[in-house]
Amino acid sequence: MADEDTTRGKAERETSRSPRSRRRTALHAAAWGTAGLLALAGVGLGLAYLKVDGNIAGIDIDSILGPDRPADVPNGSLDILLLGSDSRSGENGRYGRDDGTARSDTAMIVHVDEAHERMSVVSIPRDTLVERPECDKRGGGTAPAARRAMFNSAYEVGGPACAVKTVESLTGVRMDHYVEIDFTGFEKVVDALGGVRITTAERIEDEDSGLRLSAGEHTLDGERALALVRTRKGVGDGSDLDRIRLQHAFLRAFADQVRSVGLLSDPKRFYDLVDTATSALTTDSALASTSALAGLAKAVGDIESRDIQLVTLPVRYSSADPNRVVPIGRQTKRIWAALKADRPIPASVTEGSAAEEAGRGRGGRERGDGERGGGQTAAE
């Protein structure tokens, strides 16, 4: 009987509640339910980030190189060495036989200004002859300094630390960060973005890679994008200088695609992108986490392609070996001075360089090498 009275009393109390009270209770329940779901989602995303963090290979370059480096400039600007590795190990075996070695297939020094509103990118041709400093070898021991070494051999000899040491010796600019991606990682990133749209001003055909593009607009998936940025025989005289011009045009298109898909404003999409590439990504230890990569992405997220200045290191062909190039001292010094002073690179630094002559040999100069503004994958 007591149970019946209790039940009836409870029913009467519930019936006597106002509609407003019942709505408030429902709203509270919905709010707490939503909060709970968000909390669970946050925990899940956090655990996912930890998983990704475990995939990123971090190199403690500061510890390896020690204090004998160019002075750091703590003004908020950033200098990053970006390398593309030609390693054939693991998933990269489909690009060729793995002989146990790897070189830097692409090298760019990326400078982000203090206000994070402008970016300067300096590409170093891999066939450039430089003074390589003494480096710790990958397998132990020390590689002696070399006066005329190909730039990309630094990575082969001593890995990321030797590549950074060589760049800092060449430029006098301290690298704040190091980012390396291999062939597979590059393909996955492009595919995760849904492809990258480019416009070619002339037909590109490379029998080695199978790349065939007519003049006009194309949306490239990862495989074709990789073929584009690696082709040497598809355009011009087949030199690395012409290939760099293609890479610059692709970099602009890539930056536009990142902004168009809202990647940097969508944490889940950013995570999905990073998750696809982390197994193929190597960074300095300070960047070897999802949160650090997200912070870097945020720092450059407002920079539009028109605010990216793309320059090829001013070089001339070596008199001793026409298949190699050497830096033009006076002009390269002006580039490094501009980076140190956090200023745009003067457009005149590329005048008379082999890269500029290669462009003019096809009837024009590519907008973007040494100046701001958009560019296509061939000279306009």
In terms of domains, do 116 and 251 share one? yes
**pLDDT at res. 162:** 95
Q: Is residue 373 part of a domain?
A: no
In terms of domains, do 112 and 46 share one? no
Side chain identity at residue 9, one-letter code: G
In terms of domains, do 130 and 232 share one? yes
Q: How do residues 281-334 score in pLDDT, each as one tens digit?
A: 889 999 988 788 888 888 888 898 899 999 999 999 999 998 899 999 999 999
Q: Is residue 169 part of a domain?
A: yes
Q: What is the CATH number of the domain that holds 276?
A: 3.40.630.190
Q: How many residues does the chain have?
A: 380
Q: Is residue 380 part of a domain?
A: no
In terms of domains, do 249 and 349 share one? yes
Closest CA to 236 of 223, 246, 227, 226: 246
**pLDDT at res. 317:** 94
183-192 and 222-230 are packed helices; what angle lies between their axes, rounded to 10 degrees? 130
Q: Is residue 7 part of a domain?
A: no
Q: Can you read off the two tokens belonging to residue 271?
A: 């995570």
Which of the residue ranges 72-86, 121-135, 162-176, 233-247 would you say has the lowest mean pLDDT? Answer: 233-247
In terms of domains, do 48 and 173 share one? no
Strand 325-327 and strand 129-132: the pairing is unpaired
**Cβ atoms within 10 A of the Cβ of 199, count?**
15
In terms of domains, do 129 and 254 share one? yes
Adjacent-strand bridge partners of 177: 80
Q: Is the pLDDT of residue 349 over 50?
A: yes
pTM of the entire structure? Answer: 0.79
Separation between Cα atoms, residue 227 and residue 178, nearest integer Å:
24
Unique residue bearing structure tokens 């070996």: 321
**pLDDT at res. 148:** 93
- Residue 31's domain comprises 21-55
Q: Is the pLDDT of residue 168 over 50?
A: yes
Strand 204-206 and strand 119-123: the pairing is unpaired
In terms of domains, do 64 and 51 share one? no
Q: Is residue 5 part of a domain?
A: no
Q: Is the pLDDT of residue 40 over 80?
A: no
**pLDDT at res. 123:** 95
- Quote the percentage of the chain above a pLDDT of 90: 43
Closest CA to 232 of 215, 245, 222: 245
Q: Is residue 279 part of a domain?
A: yes
In terms of domains, do 152 and 256 share one? yes
129 with 318: CB under 8 angstroms? yes
In terms of domains, do 36 and 94 share one? no
Separation between Cα atoms, residue 118 and residue 305, nearest integer Å:
9
In terms of domains, do 51 and 121 share one? no
Counted domains in the chain: 2
pLDDT band at 266 (very low <50, low <70, confident <90, very high): confident
In terms of domains, do 67 and 45 share one? no
In terms of domains, do 242 and 161 share one? yes
Q: Can you read off the two tokens belonging to residue 186?
A: 């590059």
Domain stops at, among 9, 35, 55? 55
Q: Is residue 280 part of a domain?
A: yes
